[in-house]
Amino acid sequence: MDAQIEQRVKQWLSDDYDADTREAVRRLQEQDPQELADSFYRTLEFGTGGLRGLMGPGTNRMNKYTVGMATQGYANYLNQCFPGGVKVAIAHDSRNNSRFFAETAAQVFAANGIEVYLFADMRPTPELSFAIRRLGCQGGVVCTASHNPKEYNGYKAYWDDGSQLVPPHDKNVINEVEKIASVKAVKWSGGEHRIHALGADMDEAYIQMVKGLSIYPEVIKEQSDLKIVYTPIHGTGIKLVPDVLKAFGFNNVHVVAEQATPDGNFPTVAYPNPEESEAMSYGLKLAKELDADILCGTDPDADRLAIGVRNDKGEWILMNGNQTAVLAFNYLIEARKSKGIAQPNDMVITTIVTTPMIDVIAEKNKVGCYRVLTGFKWIADLIRQKEGSENYVIGGEESFGLMIGDQIRDKDGVSAVALLCEMAAVERSNGRSLYQKMIDLYVQYGLYKEKLISITKKGMDGQAQIAAMMDGYRNNPPQTINGVAVARIYDYQWRQVKDLPSGATTPLDLPASNVLIFQLADGSQIAARPSGTEPKIKFYFSVHAPLPDASQHDRVDAELEKDIMGIIHDMQLNG
């Protein structure tokens, strides 16, 4: 075994660690040397979004000690930045050990002289962002691994505006965390009197905030019997989504019973991810049985939303994240204009890998539209920069995330459920479905079709394989893809756009990020983006064509699907 791994294992077998942890390490030594090596070959990285990893003993795992050391570093930085006193809010999801990790973080913060507001039970991640702003906190933490499999957990750090960390704070916190070289440097206890419980009062304030986002309450009153099916997929959404829908005025809400109970083992799904049709299968079944108007699902920490609707053939289909975002962006732009509450300085924000259809809709409606790096912290950062000069309306990205209004600064599946249900009510009052509205938008703006492929490289060399893949695309880029010339390459690492026909380059005014986008001569786009938290690389494909009328949707959609599959085949991404 590697000498560094051996040294780390030896350290974790010392009296600095509790008896249960030492026993778990010994068990790995005896029964699973490969798992032992993977658990100790590196230190779980505190990245710009915090921690995320498999749970278990070891330096490369989520456990009491990695969480405690991360919290000590973050506490040190907060105390440096705010010498007059620090407050933090902490929340957690329904995952196994999430409560334990949240309590561990609370105890370490409190031992460092920080006032802690800890939710008494699991809560959706967006409520944490709201609570930070409402309580005037300087920071916050949520313990969640979002939609990852049950073996994972995570730790996301927030700043005083309720957003996840952005420069310079992200790197500064990382530096402070890396200075914590031993568990002996962690203040584990001694400030318990500084820990305060959050509960129903914060819930009610959040619910009222979301209710204030409604644009057509009078339509909901007429359509209060809209038949809604909702699944929290064993997560935190059950805490707030039914109450928010009730506050909006909907009285015909059906929760999927098999997935209503919070459970970190996620017994009915392989992955608790509403992007996966398998995770939504119970909801689809109930929606069919009840002949519902809309199906909604949220992930375990309720920051992502998926919806299902019936198509014109009466079949239930799941909208992808780009389609959901298009519906939401268009709705707020249209509804605000119709209600006379649109402002000349309204703006919307999306990300570099989200459908270009949003830009087209915004431009046609004379609404400012900005693109930022992937992640809602960048949307929040731009809101911060534009405050006082432009009026933020909505932000979103293809990964099933929406952020409506500026009273929170992270994606919010709870308010997104309410907004999409209001949209369904408005369309029903017009004698249409959300699916028909989507087709109408395609006729108006063109049919945009997107696809996402994720490739995972497991093991200790997974990250290296992905790095080599990106180096190949960057240093030897393709000249054509699927027979179409590559016109431009957007390199966000080098912060430049290269025009291939002329060879000219222009700068990109965004922070550096390891993302490449190939824009083809016909307007198609392919983006390659490695994950920052997993040995995974994502490829995003976007193609489009005019849709003359609704009757031709299936034909044009099939042609675009063929284009995407041709691109995937040409790039040898079939697997």
Nearest residue to 513 (alpha-carbon basis) of 328, 374, 331: 374
HEC string of 521-566 equals: CCCCEEEEEECCCCCEEEEEEEEEECCCCHHHHHHHHHHHHHHHHH
* Residue-level pLDDT, tens digit, the chain, 575 residues: 789 999 999 999 999 999 999 999 999 999 999 999 999 999 998 888 899 999 999 999 999 999 999 999 999 999 999 999 999 999 999 999 999 999 999 999 999 999 999 999 999 999 999 999 999 999 999 999 998 899 999 999 999 999 999 999 999 999 999 999 999 999 999 999 999 999 999 999 999 999 999 999 999 999 999 999 999 999 999 999 999 999 999 999 999 999 999 999 999 999 999 999 999 999 999 999 999 999 999 999 999 999 999 999 999 999 999 999 999 999 999 999 999 999 999 999 999 999 999 999 999 999 999 999 999 999 999 999 999 999 999 999 999 999 999 999 999 999 999 999 999 999 999 999 999 999 999 999 999 999 999 998 876 688 888 999 999 999 999 999 999 999 999 999 999 999 999 999 999 999 999 999 999 999 999 999 998 656 789 999 999 999 999 999 999 999 999 999 999 999 998 75
Q: Which residues contact 185 (CB under 8 A, 6 or more apart)?
A: 69, 72
Q: CA 348, CA 359: separation in Å to the nearest integer?
A: 9
Query: For residues 302, 304, 309 and 315, what is the CA-based torsion angle, rounded to 10 degrees?
Result: -100
Q: CA 399, CA 327: separation in Å to the nearest integer?
A: 14
> Token pair for residue 174?
């990382």
Task: Tell me the backbone φ, ψ of residue 141, rounded to 5 degrees.
Answer: -145, 140
Pairing of strands 484-491, 368-372: unpaired
Reduced to 3 DSSP states, what percent helix, strand and coil does the chain have, rounded to the nearest 5?
Answer: 40, 20, 35
HEC string of 233-263 equals: CCCHHHHCHHHHHHHHCCCCEEECHHHCCCC
pLDDT at 574: 76
Q: CA 289, CA 463: separation in Å to the nearest integer?
A: 45
Place of tokens 């893949």: 469
Q: CA 575, CA 565: separation in Å to the nearest integer?
A: 13
Nearest residue to 295 (alpha-carbon basis) of 421, 189, 381: 421
Q: For 264, which DSSP code?
A: T
- What's the burial of 56, exposed, middle or buried (CB within 10 Å: 0-12/13-18/19+)? middle
Secondary structure (DSSP) of 458-494: -STTHHHHHHHHHHHHHHS--SEETTEEEEEEEETTT
Place of tokens 């799904």: 269
Contact at 8 Å (CB) between 195 and 106?
yes
> Token pair for residue 103?
């309590």
Pairing of strands 294-298, 305-310: antiparallel
Contact at 8 Å (CB) between 100 and 133?
no
pTM value? 0.95
Task: Please state, in angstroms and as integers, the Cα–Cα distance from residue 223 to each residue in 227, 332, 425, following that order.
Answer: 9, 19, 6
Other beta carbons within 10 angstroms of residue 353's beta carbon come to: 24
Q: Reduced to 3 states, what is the DSSP secondary structure of residue 282?
A: helix
Secondary structure (DSSP) of 402-414: EEESSS-SS--HH
The domains of the chain, with CATH numbers, are 1-41 (no CATH), 43-198 (3.40.120.10), 206-445 (3.40.120.10), 447-570 (3.30.310)
pLDDT at 481: 96
Respond yes or no on whether the N-terminal peptide bond of residue 168 is cis (omega within 30° of 0).
yes
Q: CA 108, CA 189: separation in Å to the nearest integer?
A: 6
Other beta carbons within 10 angstroms of residue 544's beta carbon come to: 23
Q: Which residues contact 571 (CB under 8 A, 6 or more apart)?
A: 478, 481, 526, 539
Amino acid at 462: G
Q: Which residues contact 327 (CB under 8 A, 6 or more apart)?
A: 319, 420, 423, 434, 437, 438, 441
Q: Which residues contact 380 (CB under 8 A, 6 or more apart)?
A: 161, 162, 163, 164, 166, 403, 409, 410
Is-catalytic flag, 214?
no
C-alpha 301: how far from its chain's center? 10
> Which of 129, 146, 399, 524 is an active site residue?
146
HEC string of 322-382 equals: HHHHHHHHHHHHHHHHHHCCCCCCEEEEEECCCCCHHHHHHHHCCCEEEEECCCHHHHHHH
Q: CA 524, CA 545: separation in Å to the nearest integer?
A: 10
Q: CA 125, CA 132: separation in Å to the nearest integer?
A: 11
Place of tokens 């989520």: 62
pLDDT at 460: 65
Nearest residue to 9 (alpha-carbon basis) of 44, 30, 40: 40
Sign of the CA dihedral running 432, 434, 436, 440: positive
Contact at 8 Å (CB) between 211 and 244?
yes
